[in-house]
Chain A
Amino acid sequence: MASLITCPHCGVRPKEEFAIRGDASLVRPAPSASDEAWHDYVYVRANPRGRTVEHWHHVAGCRRFLVVERDTVTHEVYSVVDGAAAAREAQR
């Protein structure tokens, strides 16, 4: 696993300071969406090989949610963005 994460607020930190909170690429379905869509959103997860986007929580540091793009094979970290900033970017 990627062992050093460059937090946008705290700098380079070991992965022990973080908690991984799961896939960040999921989009919440509309409230009126079908039960299948909601079931998939809540329970069904892929186990990807390669590039993934995840929510990481910097528990022992700034306590902010980050969006980390990393590779599960090569352990390379491509980008780390603050979760609020990523959400603002996505809304645009």
Chain B
Amino acid sequence: MVRDYNNRHALDQKLRGAPKPAHADHLEVGHWQAIATVLAHVGLDAAVERALSSTPDLSLRYCGPGEWLVVSGVDTPVGLMRRLDMLCGTQAHVVDHSDGRVLMRLSGPSARQILAKGIGVDLHPAAFVLCGSTNVLCGHIAINLARTGEDVFELIVSRSFAESLFEDLMTMGRPFDLSAAFSE
């Protein structure tokens, strides 16, 4: 018997149905976001970082020394891989993670209060600066947290943990009337 392979989003089950209007605090889940991991070869951290940050529409998320998650809002996964290979293919290992990671964008005036329930870093605007990013533990799930706007945070999580993190976030956001939907 031959079955069609259905490529479903990790949160398809959770966010099925007609889109509801976004509240003040809103969790937006990216549909097929292009994400790649870049790990610089030994001693080439600075060169790779320079090459990556010279490109305006690539967003760099710090993971550790010489390691980044690269998020692109304009490329397809294949396109992102091709660009990264051209940029730093000889200086770093590049791995496509578009299907392996899920990106969630939490925005709204209470975003910090919601995140503070599960995250052990200082989220004050002066401490967690704009465009800052880091790996943190949210509850029991390791995520990459980035601040992309004044009150906008992006969370990148492994696909297998996405559903669990989504439920945690919705529980954390219940007192603030947090809404959730797929991005357009």
Contact = CB atoms under 8 A, between A and B. Distances in A.
A60 B134 contact: no
B121 interface: yes
Given A10-B134, A10-B135, A16-B137, A61 B120 contact: no
B120 A14 contact: yes
Contacts of A82: 65
Interface in A1-45: 9-14, 16-17
Contacts, number: 40
Interface residues of B, number: 12
A63 interface: yes
Given A9-B64, A63-B64, A64-B64, A16 B120 contact: yes
Nearest to B120: A14
A86 interface: no
B64 A60 contact: no
- Which secondary structure dominates chain B's binding surface? strand
Interface residues of A, number: 15
A17 B136 contact: yes
Interface string B112-148: 0000000011100000000000111100001000000
B87 interface: no
Given A60-B136, A61-B135, A13 B120 contact: yes
Interface of B: 63-65, 67, 120-122, 134-137, 142
14 contacts: A9-B65, A10-B134, A10-B135, A12-B121, A12-B122, A16-B137, A17-B137, A60-B136, A60-B137, A60-B142, A61-B135, A61-B136, A62-B64, A64-B64
